[in-house]
């Protein structure tokens, strides 16, 4: 049974998304919502993100909405280092503050500001070891940054009961078509 789930995937720029008005955002959010609803029906209690821009913050928005319907649902933000939003523009910082304010639990793996890239892999290792599954928006044809997380999760799953749920480009295309039909 999946009680806790790590949700991650691409950063916006890796998908060619440079603002929240992009038509791809609702498709990705719908994909996340669909997967979360299935898991909630099976006992999901916690969603974990690291607060990175893109899939993770969109997942937080989905969870905030789902909490109205499923008040037992909780989410945590476990960042790789302190002040990860420090160099973001003001709009992104305000948006991040909102997401943080709605979280049920917030912490940082390394408990200090950014030092080096190793902090990202330590964060991923920690979250994988402390969740039951990973929901990853990822397509092998367009690797990008999620490939590192996928490798870590695959390696961990070799010796542990750890489920990896992938939403790929084909899955997103089906959702896009469903959304287009429902708009008619």
The string of pLDDT tens digits covering residues 57-97 is 999 999 999 999 999 999 999 999 999 999 999 999 999 99
What is residue 182's predicted lDDT score, i.e. its pLDDT?
82
> In this prediction, what percent of the chain has a pLDDT beyond 70?
99
Look over the chain and give the mean of its residue pLDDT values, rounded to a whole number: 95
Tell me, what's the pLDDT at 109?
97
The tens digit of pLDDT for each residue in 6-52 reads 999 999 999 999 888 899 999 999 999 999 999 999 999 999 999 99
Q: Residue 42: its pLDDT value, please? A: 95
Query: What is the pLDDT, as a whole number, of residue 77?
Result: 98
pTM of the model: 0.96
Distance CA 159, CA 106 (A): 28
At 184, the pLDDT band (50, 70, 90 cuts) reads low
Instruction: Report the pLDDT value the prediction gives residue 20, as an integer from 0 to 100.
Output: 82
Q: What is the pLDDT of residue 107?
A: 97
What pLDDT is attached to residue 19?
85
- Beta-strand relationship, 133-137 and 4-9: parallel
pLDDT at 165: 98
Q: How confident is the model at residue 55 (pLDDT cuts 50, 70, 90)?
A: very high
Say yes or no to pLDDT of 143 above 90: no
Task: Please name which of 75, 72, 23 lies closest in space to residue 47, comparing C-alpha atoms.
Answer: 75
């Amino acid at each position: 049974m999946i009680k806790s789930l790590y949700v991650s995937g691409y950063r916006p720029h890796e998908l060619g998304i440079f603002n929240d008005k992009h038509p791809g955002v609702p498709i990705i959010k719908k994909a996340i919502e669909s997967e979360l609803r299935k898991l909630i029906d099976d006992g999901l209690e916690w969603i974990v993100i690291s607060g990175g821009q893109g899939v993770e913050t969109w997942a937080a928005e989905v969870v905030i909405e789902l909490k109205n319907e499923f008040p037992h649902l909780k989410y945590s933000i476990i960042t790789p280092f302190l002040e990860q939003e420090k160099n973001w523009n003001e709009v992104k910082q305000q948006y991040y503050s909102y997401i943080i304010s709605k979280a049920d639990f917030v912490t940082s793996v390394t408990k200090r500001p950014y030092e080096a890239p190793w902090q990202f892999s330590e964060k991923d290792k920690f979250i994988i070891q402390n969740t039951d599954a990973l929901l990853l928006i990822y397509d092998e044809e367009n690797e990008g940054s999620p490939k590192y997380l996928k490798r870590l999760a695959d390696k961990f799953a070799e010796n542990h009961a750890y489920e990896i749920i992938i939403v790929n480009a084909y899955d997103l295309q089906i959702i896009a078509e469903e959304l287009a039909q429902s708009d008619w």
